[in-house]
């Protein structure tokens, strides 16, 4: 008989006696322990290295993401491809505990500007149906992005431009793509 067979053998029990621990750990405590351990490990690996759970704080991504909503950042999203325009991404500060959740609107090599609330990419107006536009948003200069630079911005542009964290980030600070 294999070891596994011995593990699953049901221990003798006193007839009619209620065993309070049975619903918690099952008939085979060792197997339950191993399953629990595997589950914990899988959760640790998934939520630490693959899909980072984040809670949205603030209003800068409304109406797409409401304050308090929980989301996941897929760290594997850009392993085989580069970030694309329209992707909502997590951007690190000094680590991954706190991230900016922003939308990519300009890609490496493109020229970005904002004119009366309209995003201009290489001189062409960008259609952004997901935004709340504020006509006061205007940049004094155009900015041509370097080979690893992206412009990220929130969808809610109803506040003053200085009150909104937006601008150029390096590719290395983009952690991954929002799942939902």
Partner 1 sequence: MLAVVVVLFYGGFRVWMILFPGDEAEIRTMLDDLSAAASFRPSDKPLTHMAKAGELAGFFTEDVEIRAEGPRGEMRRIQGKASLQQIAVSAQSMGSGLTLGFKDVLVAVKEGQGQASCRLTMIANGLGEPTPWVQILAIDVVETDRGWKVADVEAVEAVERVD
Which residue, 2 or 141, is less far from partner 1 as judged by CB? 141
Residues 6+ apart with CB under 8 A from 126: 105, 118, 119, 120
Which residue, 69 or 143, is less far from partner 1 as judged by CB? 143
Closest distance to partner 1 from the beta carbon of 152 (Å): 6
Which residue, 38 or 168, is less far from partner 1 as judged by CB? 168
Residues 6+ apart with CB under 8 A from 66: 56
Query: Residue 134 corresponds to which tokens in the numbers above?
Result: 């504020």
Which residue, 5 or 95, is less far from partner 1 as judged by CB? 95
DSSP code of residue 10? P
The span from the CA of 173 to the CA of 96, in Å, is 10
Residues forming contacts to partner 1 in the complex (CB under 8 A) are: 57-59, 67, 91, 93-98, 100, 112-114, 139-141, 143, 151-152, 160, 162-163, 165-169
């Amino acid at each position: 008989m294999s070891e596994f067979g011995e593990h699953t053998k049901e221990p003798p029990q006193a007839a009619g006696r209620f065993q309070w621990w049975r619903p918690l750990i099952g008939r085979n405590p060792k197997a339950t322990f191993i399953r629990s351990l595997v589950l914990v490990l899988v959760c640790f690996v998934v939520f630490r290295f693959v899909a980072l759970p984040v809670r949205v704080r603030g209003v800068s991504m409304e109406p797409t993401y409401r304050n308090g909503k929980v989301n996941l950042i897929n760290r594997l999203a850009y392993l085989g491809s580069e970030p694309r325009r329209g992707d909502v991404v997590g951007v690190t500060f000094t680590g991954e505990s706190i991230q900016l959740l922003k939308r990519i609107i300009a890609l490496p090599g493109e020229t970005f500007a904002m004119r009366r609330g309209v995003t201009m990419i290489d001189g062409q107006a960008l259609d952004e149906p997901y935004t709340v536009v504020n006509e006061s948003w205007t940049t004094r200069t155009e900015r041509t992005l370097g080979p690893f630079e992206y412009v990220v911005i929130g969808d809610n542009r109803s506040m003053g431009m200085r009150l909104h964290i937006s601008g150029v980030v390096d590719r290395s600070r983009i952690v991954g793509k929002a799942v939902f």
